[in-house]
């Protein structure tokens, strides 16, 4: 089997608005090249789109996921959206909070004219035993309570970090 040829392809500017330039490029497998082995087993329209470039940044990944169901998300937002009160235990970097922020940002990206919100949330508390992670959470989630340990959290008079 012959090696796959690589082709330079320009990234569309609106896919990466936070990046330095739309002239950046990435390697993409040439569309004329043979497909990856096993890709013929993927159902049409339901599997991996091997002809598309990989998404290597979290913002475009969230935008891509939300783009798949724009009309449904607009309907949910029009009905008041979702509101969450969030508490995390042992998350360290607060990935769930960042994911919720990216969902908010991605919805606004796709529906820029709307004043409606798909998701709103209140970060109520976190539980983290590592002091440097506690400091990270405190800096990035002002107003939320940071408990030192799960055992402190379980006691009604538990101590804050």
Give yes or no for residue 9 having a pLDDT over 70.
no
Q: For the chain, what percent of residues have pLDDT higher than 70?
A: 65
- pLDDT band at residue 156 using 50, 70 and 90 as cut-offs: low
Q: What's the mean pLDDT in 96-114? A: 87
Closest CA relative to residue 63, chosen from 21, 30, 109: 109
Contacts of 126 (CB under 8 A, 6+ apart): 87, 88, 89, 91, 94, 137, 141, 144, 145, 146, 147
- Both tokens of residue 158? 């538990």
The domain ranges of the chain are 6-54, 65-154
Q: How confident is the model at residue 57 (pLDDT cuts 50, 70, 90)?
A: very high
Residues of the chain by 3-state class (helix, strand, coil), percent to 5: 35, 20, 45
Q: Provide φ and ψ at 142, rounded to 5°.
A: -60, 140
pLDDT, position 161: 54
pLDDT score of 100: 92
């Amino acid at each position: 089997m012959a090696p796959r040829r690589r082709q330079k392809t320009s990234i569309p500017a609106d896919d990466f608005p936070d990046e330095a330039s739309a002239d950046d490029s990435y390697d993409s497998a040439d569309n004329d090249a043979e497909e990856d082995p096993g890709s013929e087993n993927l159902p049409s329209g339901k599997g991996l789109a091997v002809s598309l470039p990989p998404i290597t940044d979290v913002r475009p990944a969230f935008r891509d996921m939300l783009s798949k169901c724009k009309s449904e998300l607009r309907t949910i937002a029009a009905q008041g959206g979702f509101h969450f009160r969030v508490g995390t235990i042992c998350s360290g970097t607060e990935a769930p909070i960042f994911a919720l922020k990216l969902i908010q940002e991605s919805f606004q990206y796709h529906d820029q004219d709307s004043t409606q919100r798909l998701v709103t949330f209140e970060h109520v508390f976190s539980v983290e035993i590592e002091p440097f992670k506690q400091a990270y959470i405190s800096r990035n989630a002002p107003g939320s309570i940071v408990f030192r340990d799960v055992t402190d959290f379980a006691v009604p008079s538990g101590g804050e970090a």
